[in-house]
């Protein structure tokens, strides 16, 4: 059997020590009629056969670099520096568990402390936690913080329709049992002023996305003041590469900043594992869920790191904990930490600039095409909305089959009134040749109707 080292002699000696003669006797407490049911599973494979089978499955997926990819909408095809995988593959990191015993976990603990530090600086906030499962669950946990902050006396959460639809959906799933009312995103057309009109003394949180789901940078300059006037907390959902350039959400007055860290050196991997980051103002630190690492000293006065504020957590507080989160995405946070260290102050800004310029080049070229319209009403970062002459699904099928291009996101999937609207993402991984090929293919797609 794979990975079971016991010899026949070992088994015999161990059974004798226990005082039984057969392995099956270990399970006498299980109701006899249900004991040892047949399992209908395929025959065990050898390692090479398993690899072949998985390679065969993987080969049925269309991926970069064979395909040019212009799909984003919350997950992005960024370059992953080689260093990251080499570090992540160290068994000392990936075969350890939650650092409950700090004396033998300083590696994970210090890396987490560094990750928290970088996320705090990047978002312009005071503190960050070790991570959540992904951007969407970070957002759902932000709602919990807001409800807790208001001692459950406010139950209304205002959602901009320009927040990622799946993030809004996850927040609703998480809070379906506690009476939270989510408002603002029903029609999909509400403006910031419409949303501000919904603010009242029952509002726990006001949430926007920056840049928004459509890639636009909305004007949030006076937003915090208005939100805070009602006593609500302001949550800004953001994306870390954009923050290489943009004013940090902390400077816009956010109380909670959350988002998806996948862009920071984590593969697309069909949606996970990703990395939810979570940052807050100082006064909210004790209300946040999830692991938090702080610095301290050991009994010899040396610097050390340790999980702190533990009494907030489920294993201690049980039903009084505000969240049940236990594991987080530690290894993914390590990837993010290495990415930010490698790119550094200059590199992150440079990636952001390259994405920005390439996206704008693509947008300008597409805007010149007959039948296509690019929405440039607001400044944008690396994603933009194109209104197409035909349904997006049809265009994407053409791009895929004739040009090996994975086109943008079909916005009508989440916003029925955004018929024919495609959300295109451009990153540093898209060469000019790819962008030009996309432009030509879109032109041909319009004519091929």
Considering only residues 217 to 276 of the shown chain, the ones binding other proteins according to CB under 8 A are: 217, 221, 243-248, 251, 260, 267-274
Please identify which residue in the block is written with the tokens 């993010």.
Answer: 336
Taking the least distance from each CB to other proteins, the nearer of 199 and 239 is 239
Q: Tell whether the torsion through CA atoms of 115, 121, 122 and 126 is positive or negative.
A: positive
**Nearest approach, Cβ of 256 to other proteins (angstroms)?**
15
Q: Is residue 151 at the binding interface for other proteins, with CB under 8 A as the rule?
A: no
Region binding other proteins by CB under 8 A among candidate stretches 150-158, 184-192, 201-209, 309-317: 309-317
Which among 269, 264, 270 has a CA at the least distance from the CA of 241? 264
- The only residue of 143, 157, 208, 306 in contact with other proteins, by rule CB under 8 A: 306
Residue 192 interacts with other proteins (CB under 8 A)?
no
CB 210 within 8 A of CB 220: yes
Sole binder of other proteins in the list 400, 412, 415, 446 (CB under 8 A): 400
The rounded distance, in Å, linking the Cα atoms of 31 and 27 is 9
Q: Which of residues 409-448 bind other proteins (CB under 8 A)?
A: 409, 428, 431-432, 435
Look at residue 13 and give its three-state secondary structure. Answer: helix
Q: Which of 145, 190, 334, 395 binds other proteins (CB under 8 A)?
A: 334
Q: Smaller CB distance to other proteins: residue 199 or 213?
A: 213
Exactly one of 128, 227, 395, 405 binds other proteins (CB under 8 A); that residue is 128
Using the rule CB under 8 A, is 283 a contact of other proteins? Answer: no
Binding mask 15-54 for other proteins (x = CB under 8 A): x-xxx---xx-xxxxxx--xxxxxxxxxxxxxx--xx-xx
Chain center to CA of 445: 33
Q: Is 135 helix (H, G, I), strand (E, B) or coil?
A: helix
Restricted to residues 161-180, the positions that interact with other proteins (CB under 8 A) are 164, 166-167, 169-170, 172-174, 176-179
Name beta bridge partners: 409. Answer: 423
- Name the segment binding other proteins (CB under 8 A); options: 225-233, 303-311, 367-375, 441-449: 303-311
Cα(348)–Cα(346) distance, integer angstroms? 6
CB of 231 to other proteins, least distance (A): 24
Minimum distance from CB of 257 to other proteins (Å)?
14
Q: Closer CB to other proteins, residue 199 or residue 323? A: 323
> Is the CA virtual torsion 14, 18, 19, 24 positive or negative?
negative
Residue 383 as a binder of other proteins (CB under 8 A): the answer is no
Residue 115 or 199 with smaller CB distance to other proteins: 115
Q: Which stretch binds other proteins (CB under 8 A): 10-18, 151-159, 184-192, 437-445?
A: 10-18
Minimum CB distance to other proteins, residue 388 (Å): 16
- 3 state DSSP class of 9: helix
Instruction: Report the candidate in 270, 254, 448, 445 with the shortest Cα–Cα distance to residue 366.
Output: 445
Largest CA distance in the chain: 83
**CA separation for the pair 342, 393 (Å, rounded):** 38
Residue from 118, 142, 258, 439 in contact with other proteins (CB under 8 A): 118
For other proteins, the binding residue among 56, 151, 370, 447 (CB under 8 A) is: 56
Under rule CB under 8 A, residue 89 binds other proteins: yes
For residue 107, the SS3 value is helix
CB of residue 146 to other proteins, shortest distance in Å: 15
Relative orientation angle of helices 432-447 and 392-403, to the nearest 10 degrees: 120
Q: Which residue from 152, 187, 222, 327 is in contact with other proteins, where contact means CB under 8 A?
A: 327
Cβ-based burial of 81 (10 A; exposed 0-12, middle 13-18, buried ≥19): middle
Closest residue by Cα to residue 77 from 59, 96, 62, 94 = 62
**60 makes contact with other proteins (CB under 8 A):** yes
Q: Binding to other proteins (CB under 8 A): which residues in 339-368?
A: 340-351, 353-354, 356-358, 360-361, 364
287 binds other proteins (CB under 8 A): no
Q: What tokens does 169 get?
A: 């959906």
74, 139 contact by CB (below 8 A)? no
CB of 255 to other proteins, least distance (A): 16
Separation of alpha carbons 358 and 430, rounded Å? 8
Output the smallest distance, CB 230 to other proteins, in A: 25
Residues in contact with other proteins, counted by CB under 8 A, come to a total of 208
**Minimum CB distance to other proteins smaller for 18 or for 229:** 18
Structure tokens at 143: 């709602």
| H/E run at residue 395 | helix 392-403
Rounded to whole angstroms, the Cα distance separating 250 from 252 reads 5
């Amino acid at each position: 059997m794979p990975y079971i080292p016991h010899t026949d002699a070992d088994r015999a000696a161990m059974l004798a020590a226990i005082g039984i003669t057969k392995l099956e006797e270990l399970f006498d407490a299980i109701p006899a009629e249900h004991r040892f049911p047949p399992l209908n599973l395929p025959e065990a494979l050898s390692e090479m056969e398993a690899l072949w089978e998985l390679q065969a499955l993987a080969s049925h997926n269309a991926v970069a670099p064979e395909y040019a990819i212009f799909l984003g909408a919350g997950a992005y095809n960024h370059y992953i520096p080689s260093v990251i995988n080499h570090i992540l593959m160290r068994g000392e990191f990936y075969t350890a568990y939650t650092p409950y015993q700090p004396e033998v976990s300083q590696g994970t603990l210090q890396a987490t402390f560094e990750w928290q530090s970088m996320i705090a600086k990047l978002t312009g906030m005071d503190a960050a936690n070790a991570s959540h499962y992904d951007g969407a669950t970070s957002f759902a946990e932000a709602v919990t913080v807001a409800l807790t902050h208001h001692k459950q006396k406010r139950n209304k959460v205002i959602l901009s329709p320009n927040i990622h639809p799946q993030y809004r959906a996850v927040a609703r799933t998480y809070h379906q049992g506690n009476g939270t009312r989510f408002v603002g995103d029903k029609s999909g057309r509400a403006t910031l002023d419409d949303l501000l009109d919904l603010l009242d003394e029952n509002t726990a949180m006001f949430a926007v996305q920056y840049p928004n789901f459509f890639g636009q940078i909305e004007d949030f300059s006076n937003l915090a003041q208005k939100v805070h006037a009602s006593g609500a907390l302001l949550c800004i959902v953001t994306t870390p590469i954009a923050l290489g350039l943009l004013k940090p959400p902390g400077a816009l007055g956010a109380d909670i900043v959350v988002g998806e860290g996948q862009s920071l050196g984590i593969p697309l991997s069909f949606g996970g594992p990703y990395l939810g980051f979570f940052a807050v103002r100082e006064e909210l630190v004790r209300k946040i869920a999830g692991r938090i690492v702080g610095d301290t000293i050991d009994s010899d006065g040396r610097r050390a790191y340790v999980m702190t504020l533990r009494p907030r957590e489920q294993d201690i507080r049980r039903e009084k904990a505000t969240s049940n989160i236990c594991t987080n995405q530690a290894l993914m946070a390590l990837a993010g930490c290495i990415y930010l260290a490698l790119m550094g102050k200059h590199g992150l800004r440079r990636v952001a600039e390259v994405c920005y310029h390439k996206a704008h080049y693509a947008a300008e070229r597409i805007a010149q095409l007959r039948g296509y319209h690019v929405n440039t009403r607001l400044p944008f970062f690396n994603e933009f909305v194109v209104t197409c002459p035909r349904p997006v699904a049809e265009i994407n099928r053409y791009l895929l089959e004739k040009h090996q291009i994975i086109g943008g996101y079909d916005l009508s999937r989440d916003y029925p009134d955004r018929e024919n609207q495609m959300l295109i993402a451009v990153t540093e991984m898209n060469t000019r040749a790819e962008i030009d090929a996309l432009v030509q293919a879109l032109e041909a797609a319009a004519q091929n109707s």
